[in-house]
Amino acid sequence: MDRLNNDHFHIATVMNSLEKMFKQFPDDDIDWTLVSDMLSYLQEYPDTVHHPLEDQLFDRVLDKGLTPAERELVHTNLAQHAEIISATLRLDQDVNQILNDSVVPIDKVLEHFEHYIDLQRVHMRNENTHLFPLAERLLSAEDWRDVEAEYASHVDPMFALKQGKFASLFEYITEG
Domain 2-175: top CATH class = mainly alpha
- What pLDDT does 96 receive? 96
Banded model confidence at residue 88, pLDDT cuts 50, 70, 90? very high
- What pLDDT does 65 receive? 87
- What pLDDT does 163 receive? 62
- Residues 105-140 as b/e (b if ≥16 CB within 10 A, e otherwise) read eeeebeebbeebbebbeebbeebeeebbebbeebbe
Instruction: Read off the pLDDT of residues 5-43 as tens digits, 9 standing for 90 and up.
Output: 999 999 999 999 999 888 887 767 888 999 999 999 899
Domain ranges of the chain: 2-175
Q: Does residue 162 have a pLDDT over 70?
A: no
Q: Does residue 169 have a pLDDT over 80?
A: no
Banded model confidence at residue 175, pLDDT cuts 50, 70, 90? confident
Instruction: Read off the pLDDT of residues 34-79 as tens digits, 9 standing for 90 and up.
Output: 999 999 989 988 988 999 999 999 999 999 989 999 999 999 999 9
| Main-chain phi, psi angles of 136, to 5 degrees | -60, -35
Query: How many whole angstroms separate alpha carbon 12 and alpha carbon 79?
Result: 20
- What pLDDT does 122 receive? 96
Instruction: Read off the pLDDT of residues 116-153 as tens digits, 9 standing for 90 and up.
Output: 999 999 999 999 999 999 999 999 999 999 998 988 88
Give the residue with greater pLDDT, 165 vs 30: 30
CB within 8 A of 40, min separation 6: which ones? Answer: 92, 165
